[in-house]
Amino acid sequence: MITDIRRTLPRAAWWGACLCLAVLFAYPLYVMVAQSLKSPKEAAEAPPTLYPHGLSLENYRSLGHTGNVSFTHHVMNSVQVSIGATIGTAVLATLAGYAFAKLRFKGSGLLFFAILATFMIPFQAIITPLFSILHDLHLQNSLLGLALVYMTFQLPFGVFLMRNSFASLPASIEEAALIDGCSTLRAMYRVLLPVAVPGLISTALFTFFTCWNEFFAALILVTDEDKFTLPVTLTTLSSNSFGTLNWGVMQAGVAVTVIPCVVLYLLLQRYYVSGLVAGAVK
């Protein structure tokens, strides 16, 4: 009996602590969704109620009529920029990560160190040169230019993840493919990459989350309202007419922005975590 209690108590304490942490992190999401589902009058009440007394989608309907451009258009802007930057980063990071992990060439260590060193450069420090480069390329105030800027900043971490993923794979897998007649590129694409999928998913998710939520570059590099991404659009929701703030509509906009990231993470969290730790013990 005493032995069973000694075994059960630590496990119960562990699950209790996990439950407390889950409630702590989930509470802000609950408040956001609850506020967005209240009527505009109830959402403006102070202090706010813990749960909506009557479910209402009026805030979401009002969200589609704010500003001169539809909210759906801003959602599609974010989708285009985030997916474009994610695909570009995933492709380039895969090729570079494979080269650093499996190929031997002069200066590879120094070059990889230089790529990692770019982590130390704050984004705000080079926003002006980036603005000038985009202006020279006629990509200023464009979604394509914004996606290229995002790729520039996500590639170092993507290369780091994919290099660790490929380095954690046994060399015998690639050697067997080469002996069977595969070229180097075909062995990477057909044999190694399917095994390194967790690293690829981690790279893609990290890039997508960062681009989806990025605000500063989108605010500086894009000036036309019809090209605003979601984070910039949310700031326009916070400044309603006569200085008033429509909490319900704003929380509905935040919910539309946050929920896709939460769903993606829940669906792919197993690959995301395993990809981040790939090669950590090698």
pLDDT digit string, tens, across residues 244-270: 677 888 888 888 888 888 888 888 877
CB 228 within 8 A of CB 77: yes
Is residue 242 pLDDT above 60, yes or no? no
Strands (DSSP E) contained in 61-116 are none
- pLDDT score of 210: 92
Of the candidates 108, 215, 101, 120, the one whose C-alpha atom is nearest the C-alpha of residue 160 is: 101
CB 42 within 8 A of CB 49: yes
Q: How confident is the model at residue 277 (pLDDT cuts 50, 70, 90)?
A: low
Whole-prediction pTM: 0.84
Q: How many CA atoms lie within 13 A of 94 on its CB side?
A: 22
Q: How confident is the model at residue 124 (pLDDT cuts 50, 70, 90)?
A: confident
What digits encode the pLDDT tens for the residues 152-162?
888 999 999 99
CB 35 within 8 A of CB 48: yes
What amino acid occupies position 131? Answer: F
**How does the average pLDDT of the chain come out, rounded?**
84
Q: What is the dihedral of CA 239, 241, 244, 247, to 10 degrees?
A: -60
Average pLDDT over residues 97-111: 87
- pLDDT score of 212: 93
* Site of tokens 């989108």: 218
Is residue 281 pLDDT above 60, yes or no? no
Element of type H or E holding 84: helix 71-102
CB 278 within 8 A of CB 199: yes
DSSP class of 246: -
CB 37 within 8 A of CB 52: yes
Give me the sign of the Cα torsion angle 116, 117, 122, 124: negative
Average pLDDT over residues 56-78: 83
* Site of tokens 């930057």: 85
Domain boundaries, the chain: 67-279
Structure tokens at 63: 């969200």
Structure tokens at 190: 């057909």
The length of the chain, given as a count of residues: 282
- pLDDT score of 278: 63
Q: How confident is the model at residue 243 (pLDDT cuts 50, 70, 90)?
A: low
Is residue 94 pLDDT above 90, yes or no? yes
CATH number of 67-279: 1.10.3720.10
Helix, coil or strand: residue 82 = helix
Q: How confident is the model at residue 83 (pLDDT cuts 50, 70, 90)?
A: very high
- pLDDT score of 240: 53
What span, in angstroms and rounded, lies between the C-alpha atoms of 37 and 48?
13
- 146 or 183, higher pLDDT: 146
Q: At what angle do helices 108-117 and 143-167 cross, to 10 degrees?
A: 130
